Structure 1
Amino acid sequence: MPQFVRQFAVEIDNVTGGAIEHVANDGRRTVLGHVERPATGTIEANDGFWASKYSHAIDGTAGHLLATSVYVMRSKVWPEQPYDPLYYENFDPVNGQRDWTTRLLNIRPDRYADADHGNWLADTIYTDIPGGTGIFGGKSAIPTGAPLTYLDDTAGTWRPIADYFRADPTAAPPRRIRFTAYRPIARGASPSYIEFENWAAGDTVAGRTHTSNGGIYVGYPNGSKNHVADVVQRVEGIGRFAGTEFAHVGQMDTNHPGAFTFSTSPYVGFSWDQNVRGGFQIVPANHVKFLSNDLGQNSFIGRPQWLIVGPIGADPDVLFDRRYIIDGKLSFSPGWEAIAPVFGMYARTTFDPANLAESTYVEVSYDYGTTWQPTPEFVGVHDPTTCHTQTCPQNWTNLRVHLAYPAGP
C-alpha cells in the first residue's frame, strides 16, 4: 500500500466574491480566483454515478474530492457509512428502489454562471477560474481522494465535512471548505506512469494476435513496474467526451471512480459546439456492466471509444455476464471502481504544454512500446471503419499516462 505525503491545500470561501486560495505547507497563500455564485445546497448523485458509492478519502473519511476534471470538481459530502454492494441484488431502477445515494457538492469554472443564467444550480460553486487552469488543470489541480474539511467557526478548527452534514444531510454547505492534496509514495518514490497494453485476449493488433489480455502496469522512477489489472476491451476509436474542449491534446480530462478520460482535441475553452470535442475513456468492467445491464445505457461494451479494465486474468466474455465475476467466482465487490491507481488518488488534470515534466498526459505507441509518440489530434467521432491513417487509435499498441505531482500554485 502506498503512503501519502501532504503537498498543499485549496481553501474556498463559499460566498459571493469569496477567495479561492492555494495554501502551501508553509502557510503561504496564493489567490487562484473567486466565487461568482456560492452553493446553497447539495444534490443526490444519479444512478449513472453509482461508482461514487465505493469512493472514500485517502484518510478513510467520507468527505472528499470524488471527481477531478478540467471542467467540474465533484465532492462527496455524505453519507458516512460504507456502501453494501450486496444491495445490488435488490436494485430496482424502474420503481426507484435503492440504498442511500451519494450527496454531491460541485464546483465549476468561469462561463458556467453565465451559461446557467436563470437556472443556477444550488449545489454548484460557480467560480471565475477558466476551465483547464488553476484547480481545473493547472498546478493547483487536486487528485481524487483528497479529504474535504470545513472550518468550524465555534471551535476554530477544520473538521471532516461529514461532521457538518451529520445532523442534516440536506443542509446548506458551510462557508469555508478545504481540500488537501497528497501525493502517493511507493517503492521509495511517487509512481511515474500507468501503462496500458492496448489489447484483450483474441485481439489482433499491429500484426500480432494475442492469446491473453494486455496488462496494466504502474511504473516507478527506478525502472520497476507492477502489474495491477488487465485490459478486457481495447480502445480503437474517438468520441465527443464532455470537457475535452477545456483540455489540450493528450491532457487528462477527468478522473473519478468510474472513468479516466483523455482529450485528443485542442483547447478551445467554453463552447456550445460539441463538434470541437474529441477523446477516449478508460472505465472499470463492473461499472460498465451495471450501467449497461441495469440502466440500459447503449455504450461501452463493443464500442471503440472505451478501454475497459478488469482484474488480472479476466476473460473478456465476462463483460456479457451481468453478474460480477472476479477470479472465476461470483462477487458483489466493486471490482476496480474507485480503486487506485487508475480510478482514483494518483492522477491530476495538471497540464502545461511548455513543461511536460510537471504535466499529466498520455502518449501512444504503435510498436509495442519500442518508441512513444505524442497523442495524435482527433476531433469528433472516429472508429476503425472511418479512420484510415497510421495514427488512428486502432493502431495504438500501448498507452502510457505520465503522472505529475506539482505542489502549485
Structure 2
Amino acid sequence: MFSTTLRKLRAARLALLLILFFACSGEAAPILYIVRIPLVLGEEAQAVLPDGKTIPLGKVAALPTSSRWPGYTASKWAPPGSVAASAVNAVHLTLSVEKERGRTVSILPRHTVAPAAGEQSFIALDSPAGTGFFGGWAPPVATPVLVQRNGGALVPLEERGLPREGDTLVFEVSESESPYLIDIENRPGGRVLGWYESGPRLLARVIRPLKGVGRFGGTEFQNIGRIRANHSGVIDVSTTPRGVVGGFQILPFLHSKSQEMSSAWQLTQWMIIASPTDRPLPGTAPLFSSNLVPGSQMTDVLWDMWSTYGRKPLVLCRRAGGAWQRLPEASGRNDSALGDLTHLRIYSPFTEEPQKGFVPETGK
C-alpha cells in the first residue's frame, strides 16, 4: 500500500515538473521534448513530449564509476553541463572544463565502441547505434543537462558533477534559429554560407578543401550523405551505407591546430574552415553547436511526419560544378574519392512543415 502511494506521488511530481519545464521555457527557444535517463540498471530511458506522451529509448545497461579527464580536445568548447557531442555511436557530455581540458561522461549504445569515452566513464543504453537517443531523438550540441536526485530537486549537471546511481539525467531539447541550408564552396577561400529566412550570412571561409574519404569510426552506423557526428569541433559526414566504414570531416581552424588533429594538414579527408571574423568557430552555432544531429533512420518515428522526415540533416554535393546530387559512395581510405567535388550543401534539421501557415495570394 505504502509503495503504491509512493509511486503515485513520484508520478505526480514528475508530471508537475514536466509541466513546469515546457511552460517555463519563456522567450528562449521552445522545448521540443525532454529526454530522461534514469541511472538505474534495467530502467527505461524515455523521450517526453509536451503533451506528456512518452517514447521508450532503451533500457539502462551500464553505469559510470568515474568521469574522464582530460577528455577529447573539443569537449572544452562545449558549455559545462551540456551535450558536447551528438553522434550515432555516442553522446558525450562536458561536466566541467579544468586546466583548458574538458571533463566528460558519455552515453553509448550497448553494442558499439566510442574511443572518446573512458572505460568506466559511460552510461550504456540497450539501443541500436544510430537510432533513438543516437538518431532521431538525439540532442544537439550545447543542449543543457540537468540532474534529478532520487526523484527530487533538479540541479545543473555542472553542479552535480559525476551523476550517481539513482539520479536521472534530464535533457531539455530545443530547436534554435538555424539556417535552413548551408552551402560550402570547396576551394581555398571558398564561402560557407548559411541561408536564413532573412537571407544569406557568411559563416566561414574554407582554408583547406576536401578531396578524400577515410575510415572514421561510427560511419558504419549511418547512411550516405548523413551526419555521423557533430561536436563543438567537427562535422562528420558518412559516405557509405550502414554497415560500411567511410566518410569525411569538417574542422574549424582552431581545432585543426591541436595535436589531436595534426594529420588534417597532411591528409585529404578533412576540410578546414575559419571564421570570417576574430571570433573562433569552435563551439559556435550553427556549424558546431545547437543545430546538427544524426537524425532519424531505420525504425525511428518521431511525433509526426514532418519531424520524422525533417529531423535528419542531408548532405548533397556538386561535382565539377555540375548539378546538385547525392554524395558518391566511397569507403575506407581513398585520398582522391572527392577530388572533383566543388560544392557541399548541408540541410539543417527541422520539425515543422516548411510552409506551415503560408496562404498563397488568390488575386482577389
Give TM-score scaled by structure 2 length: 0.80
Q: Which 10-residue stretch deviates more, 5-14 or 356-365?
A: 356-365
Match of 1:191 in 2: 179
Structure 2 segments unaligned to the other structure (5+ residues):
1-26, 300-307, 353-364
The answer on whether the counterparts of 2:317 and 2:345 sit within 8 Å (CA) in structure 1 is yes
Match of 2:101 in 1: 101
2:176 aligned with 1:180? no
Cα drift, residue 11 of structure 1? 0.6
Q: Which has the higher contact order (CA 8 A, sep 6+)?
A: 1
Match of 1:403 in 2: 348
Partner amino acid for 1:126?
Answer: A
* Structure 1 runs, 4 residues or longer, greater than 6 Å off: none
Structure 1 segments unaligned to the other structure (5+ residues):
57-61, 84-98, 201-212, 269-275, 313-325, 328-332, 385-391
Query: 1 CA distance for matches of 2:100 and 2:347?
Result: 36
Partner amino acid for 1:371?
Answer: A
Residue among 41, 58, 71 paired with 1:16? 41
SS at match of 1:102: strand
Query: 2 CA distance for matches of 1:74 and 1:145?
Result: 11
Residue among 191, 197, 206 paired with 1:215? 191
Partner amino acid for 1:141?
Answer: A
Cα drift, residue 339 of structure 1? 1.3
Match of 2:82 in 1: 64
SS at match of 1:184: coil
Match of 1:75 in 2: 93
Partner amino acid for 1:4?
Answer: A
Match of 1:86 in 2: none
Match of 1:151 in 2: 148
Cα drift, residue 40 of structure 1? 2.6
Match of 2:77 in 1: 54
Cα drift, residue 406 of structure 1? 3.7
Cα root mean square deviation, aligned: 2.6
Partner amino acid for 2:186?
Answer: N
Give TM-score scaled by structure 1 length: 0.71
Sequence identity percentage: 27
Structure 1 segment 128-167 matched on structure 2, within 5 A: 128-137=126-135, 139-153=136-150, 156-165=152-161
Cα drift, residue 135 of structure 1? 1.1
The answer on whether the counterparts of 2:149 and 2:167 sit within 8 Å (CA) in structure 1 is no
Cα drift, residue 63 of structure 1? 0.2
Match of 2:270 in 1: 306
Cα drift, residue 54 of structure 1? 2.3
Query: 2 CA distance for matches of 1:356 and 1:238?
Result: 27
Query: 2 CA distance for matches of 1:130 and 1:353?
Result: 10
Cα drift, residue 157 of structure 1? 3.2
Query: 1 CA distance for matches of 2:286 and 2:100?
Result: 26
Match of 2:61 in 1: 36
Name the CA shift for 1:173/1:310 in 2 (closer, same or farther; >3 Å).
farther
Query: 2 CA distance for matches of 1:367 and 1:226?
Result: 25
